[in-house]
Amino acid sequence: MKKIFFILLILLLVIAVPHLAYTQLVNEKYSKKNDSQNNLQKLYDDYINQGLSCLEQNQLNNAKYSFFKARELVPDKSEAYIDLAVVSIKRGNYRSAIITLKKAESLQDNTKKDIVFYNLGLCLQKNSEYQEAVKYYDKATNINPLLKEALFNRGMLYLKNGQPDMALIDLVKAGTLFKSRGQKTIVDKCEENISYLIEKNQQNKEVAKKLLEEGSKSFENGRQEEGVVLLNVSALCDTTNKETYYRLGVMHVRMENLKQAIECFKKTVELDPKDINAYINLGGAYGRLKEYKEALDALHKALDLEKRNPKIYYNIAMVYLNIGKNNGAISYLKKAKALATDKEDKQLLEKIDEAGRLLKI
């Protein structure tokens, strides 16, 4: 029995030892491969950093050599191509830069495509190939809508090409972004050109409409300051469009800029004394500022225009509740509930019921 056990043990060792040796060999090869890749990446990064350092010191030949070596090591990454193109741009050799950037464009590496496209736009613009430049700025901003340099350059090309609406949109967006970075010099350039375009487009309803649409889109996409500025510029281009002031008022309410919101809603009803929603929002803004007399004045004007709107009655009830006139609050709350429907005013009914519980009705 012992003999049989010994033979089995030897057989297991014969099988296991080669397997262990093979596994160790694979692991060693994998480790060496990883080490080799890590070393390659480190060397690539060293060349890039060395080139950037030379670029800062305007040592263009040395910078070009370092970026060239980096590209040789890792030819499928766009970074070295971009940096080589920058060297050509600094020398004013835009055609050479375009050739290099076109190679970067053809790579599968998408990590810096917006920078590739921006630089292509810049070089084409420098070469007076304006239409092609705009196409590449479009590509850059499609990837990165906050690429302020591309927005500014494209805006200036639109200005040159007689497209005031597109120029204003890009310059406002660029100016807002540069302002947030504290880059005053270029902010001043943006504002100077914006002022020029506003002056040239007084009462241009088409330009104002485009700005209104773009501003609303920017606000909904979370770029609130940009949206507000675009709508302000829209209002300056067309002072008669009540929709611009109304939307601007709504934006200010959402940003808690209640005094600015009030001015916008007042301008809305000045342009259209029958705008019920503007009066309702005006009353709401006054109410949030605890200016209850003004709130009631605005809401009663809305009520004069629309006797069967439950939201107006509810808002008046809330003002009376806030000033301690519970009887008035109860009266208007009952009217609001009588007019509200389950289908159209579900959320309002929930608010009415909540207020009713507070008033014990």
What are 19's two structure tokens? Answer: 């397997």
Same domain (yes/no): 200, 234:
yes
- The answer to whether residue 24 sits within a structural domain is no
Please give the pLDDT value at position 35: 58
The per-residue pLDDT for 19 is: 43
Are residue 171 and residue 136 in the same domain, yes or no? no
Q: How high is the pLDDT of residue 18?
A: 46
Q: Is 233 contained in some domain?
A: yes
- The answer to whether residues 122 and 61 belong to one domain is yes
Instruction: Band the pLDDT of 36: cuts 50, 70, 90.
Output: low
Residue range 122-154, pLDDT digits in tens: 999 999 999 999 999 999 999 999 999 999 999
* 236 and 168 assigned to the same domain: yes
- Same domain, residue pair 70 and 151: no
Last residue of a domain, one of 115, 144, 173: 144
pLDDT (tens digit, 9 = 90+) per residue, 328-347?
Answer: 999 999 999 999 987 788 99
Q: Is the pLDDT of residue 14 over 80?
A: no
Determine the Cα angle at 275 with ends 259 and 240, to 5°.
75
For the chain, the domain total comes to 2
Tell me which of 144, 159, 183 is where a domain ends: 144
Q: What sign has the CA pseudo-torsion 274, 275, 278, 279? A: positive
- Per-residue pLDDT at 28: 44
Same domain for 151 and 205?
yes
Percent of the chain at pLDDT > 70 equals 90
Burial bucket for residue 59 (CB in 10 Å: 0-12, 13-18, 19+)? middle
Nearest-angstrom CA–CA distance, 115 and 12: 60
Q: Are 154 and 235 contained in the same domain?
A: yes
173 and 111: one domain? no
Would you say residue 98 lies in a domain? yes
Interacting residues of 123 by C-beta distance below 8 A, sequence separation 6+: 85, 89, 94, 95, 97, 98, 101
Reported as a pLDDT band with limits 50, 70 and 90, residue 359 is confident
Q: 138 is written with which tokens?
A: 């479009």
CA distance 117 to 135: 9
Distance CA 227, CA 216 (A): 6
Residue 189 pLDDT > 90, yes or no? yes
CA–CA dist 211, 169 (Å, integer): 7
Structural domain span for residue 167:
145-240
Reading the block at residue 300, the tokens are: 């009663």
Q: Is residue 327 part of a domain?
A: no
Average pLDDT over residues 87-110: 97
Q: What is the average pLDDT value for the chain, to the nearest integer?
A: 91
CATH number of 81's domain: 1.25.40.10
Residue 150, in any domain of the structure: yes
- Residue among 208, 218, 210, 167 at smallest CA distance from 190: 167
Q: In this model, does residue 32 exceed pLDDT 90?
A: no
Angstrom distance (rounded) from CA 276 to CA 246: 11
Q: For residue 7, is pLDDT > 80?
A: no
Residues 185, 130, single domain; the answer is no
Query: Are 86 and 156 part of one and the same domain?
Result: no
| DSSP-H helix ranges across the chain | 2-56, 60-73, 78-90, 94-106, 113-126, 130-143, 148-160, 164-180, 184-200, 205-220, 224-237, 242-254, 258-271, 276-288, 292-305, 310-322, 326-339, 346-359
Mean pLDDT within 110-116? 96
Do residues 103 and 177 both lie within one domain?
no
* Residue 249 falls inside a structural domain: no
Tokens of 10: 């030897």
Whether 17 is covered by a domain: the verdict is no
| Among candidate residues 191, 224, 240, the one where a domain is terminated | 240
Mark whether 160 and 209 lie in a shared domain. Answer: yes
On whether residue 232 sits in a domain, the answer given is yes
Give the global pTM.
0.84
